[in-house]
């Protein structure tokens, strides 16, 4: 299982970002399970990526160098954003989860800050490994399940606006508005 996660997240961030679309994220709160479909992601790199704050060094950069599948919590404004570390260990990369489609609940998850707020994801998940964190699991979609992917420039960042590192499911109504 651990090996599976490493294979899944051990690829380039943009490829993982595409693969994650359509997967099911399961978060347990107390004795309830909230299932959501991942519908919008963004890829972040390091040195070549002016939009990523990892270029400034510090803890964010260190965490992005950890092994693929590590959860990275990034605080900005008054929100927590959840990322998964991707790529080879030692090469800083991460994928940001931007929006989820509610499956068995009605929480508003159309935005990176909203989904963490609803699912009660906070800094306590920082640097935890995905497969070992009790209460947070990703179930990959079936291989034959097709997902129509559309790309665009990333959202909210002030630099590198031309790069198309944002990925979302075509036609989905739950993508974040910007």
Partner DNA sequence: CATATGATGGACT
Partner DNA sequence: GTCCATCATATGG
Separation between Cα atoms, residue 130 and residue 139, nearest integer Å: 11
List the interface residues with DNA, window 30-49 (CB under 7 A): 42, 44
Minimum CB distance to DNA smaller for 3 or for 158 = 158
User: Would you count residue 157 as binding DNA (CB under 7 A)?
Assistant: yes
Applying CB under 7 A, which part among 4-12, 140-148, 151-159, 165-173 lies near DNA? 151-159
Minimum CB distance to DNA smaller for 48 or for 146 = 48
Residues 6+ apart with CB under 8 A from 91: 46, 65
Residue from 3, 158, 162, 171 binding DNA (CB under 7 A): 158
Q: Could you tell me if 126 and 74 are in contact, meaning their C-beta atoms sit under 8 angstroms apart?
A: no
Beta-strand runs (E) in the chain:
24-29, 32-44, 71-76, 79-85, 94-102, 136-139, 149-152, 166-169
Residue from 19, 86, 172, 176 binding DNA (CB under 7 A): 176
User: Would you count residue 51 as binding DNA (CB under 7 A)?
Assistant: yes
User: Would you count residue 57 as binding DNA (CB under 7 A)?
Assistant: yes
- Helix orientation angle between 2-9 and 13-20, rounded to the nearest 10 degrees: 110
Give me the least distance between CB of 107 and DNA, in Å please. 11
List the interface residues with DNA, window 61-120 (CB under 7 A): 74-79, 81, 83, 94, 96, 111-114
Write the Ramachandran bin of 100: left for phi over 0, alpha for psi from -120 to 50, otherwise beta: beta
Separation between Cα atoms, residue 139 and residue 117, nearest integer Å: 21
Provide the binding-site residues for DNA, judged by CB under 7 A: 42, 44, 51-54, 56-60, 74-79, 81, 83, 94, 96, 111-114, 123, 154-158, 176, 178
């Amino acid at each position: 299982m651990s090996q599976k996660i490493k294979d899944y997240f051990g690829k380039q961030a943009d490829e993982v970002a595409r693969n994650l679309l359509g997967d099911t994220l399961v978060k347990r709160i107390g004795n309830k399970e909230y299932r959501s479909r991942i519908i919008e992601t963004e890829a972040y790199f390091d040195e070549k990526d002016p939009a990523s704050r990892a270029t400034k060094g510090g803890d964010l950069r260190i965490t992005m160098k950890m092994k693929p599948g590590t959860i990275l919590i990034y605080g900005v404004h008054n929100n927590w954003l959840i990322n998964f570390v991707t790529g080879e260990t030692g090469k800083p990369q991460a994928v940001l989860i931007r929006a989820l489609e509610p499956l068995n609940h009605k929480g508003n998850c159309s935005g990176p800050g909203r989904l963490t707020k609803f699912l009660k994801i906070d800094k306590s998940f920082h640097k935890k490994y995905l497969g070992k964190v009790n209460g947070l699991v990703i179930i990959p979609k079936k291989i034959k399940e097709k997902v129509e992917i559309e790309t665009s420039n990333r959202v909210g960042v002030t630099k590198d606006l031309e790069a198309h590192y944002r990925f979302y499911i075509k036609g989905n109504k739950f993508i974040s508005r910007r």
